[in-house]
């Protein structure tokens, strides 16, 4: 046994009144109250509201609900709301979401890049100025071939 109002498959009530109001009827009456229907649809729904008890009840319930909701004011959040939410999340997450920032988050990327380049320049200078450094080129000395190879002379 169902409490829904009998309808003809398109949301139209067959005139019998039972417990619940069909969702299709509620949708049409809501569109009617919103002013979203065309002239012919609007007059059709107005006629059904006047002649059918289910449509009338749906109209009265939706109109009453709209009236009650229109009297409500918007609630504003207290000034400390964001801080309170952050504190609550921090406590519940054991610090996983709002953990202390890492060094990379505290120092800008440009500063880290400048320090890295300066470090590379210092290492390059030390190798260049060292007597045994591999970057030093001695132009006065001619390279000698290794012991296993013969010197290549141009033809």
Domain boundaries in the chain?
Answer: 1-72
* Residue pLDDT, tens place only, 57-83: 999 999 998 888 888 888 888 889 988
Number of neighbouring beta carbons within 10 Å of residue 114: 11
CATH class of 1-72: mainly alpha
The H or E element containing residue 23 is helix 23-34
* Phi, psi for residue 7 in degrees, rounded to 5: -145, 170
Predicted TM-score (pTM) of the model is 0.39
* Phi, psi for residue 47 in degrees, rounded to 5: -65, -40
pLDDT by position in tens, the chain (length 155) = 344 444 554 444 444 445 688 888 899 998 998 888 888 999 999 999 999 999 999 999 999 988 888 888 888 888 899 889 888 888 887 766 666 666 666 778 888 899 999 999 999 888 878 777 666 666 666 666 666 556 565 55
* Residue pLDDT, tens place only, 77-86: 888 998 898 8
């Amino acid at each position: 046994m169902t409490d829904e109002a009998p309808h003809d498959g398109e949301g139209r009530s067959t005139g019998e009144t039972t417990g619940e109001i069909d969702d299709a009827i509620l949708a049409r009456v809501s569109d009617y109250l919103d002013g979203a229907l065309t002239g012919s649809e609007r007059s059709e729904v107005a006629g059904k509201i006047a002649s059918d008890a289910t449509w009338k009840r749906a109209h009265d319930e939706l109109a009453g609900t709209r009236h009650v909701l229109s009297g409500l004011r918007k609630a504003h959040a207290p000034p400390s709301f964001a801080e309170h939410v952050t504190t609550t999340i921090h406590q519940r997450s054991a610090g996983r979401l709002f953990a202390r920032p890492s060094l990379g988050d505290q120092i800008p990327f440009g500063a880290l890049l400048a320090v890295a380049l300066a470090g590379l320049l210092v290492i390059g200078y030390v190798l260049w100025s060292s007597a045994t450094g591999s970057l030093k080129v001695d132009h006065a000395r001619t390279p000698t071939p290794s012991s296993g190879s013969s010197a290549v002379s141009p033809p």
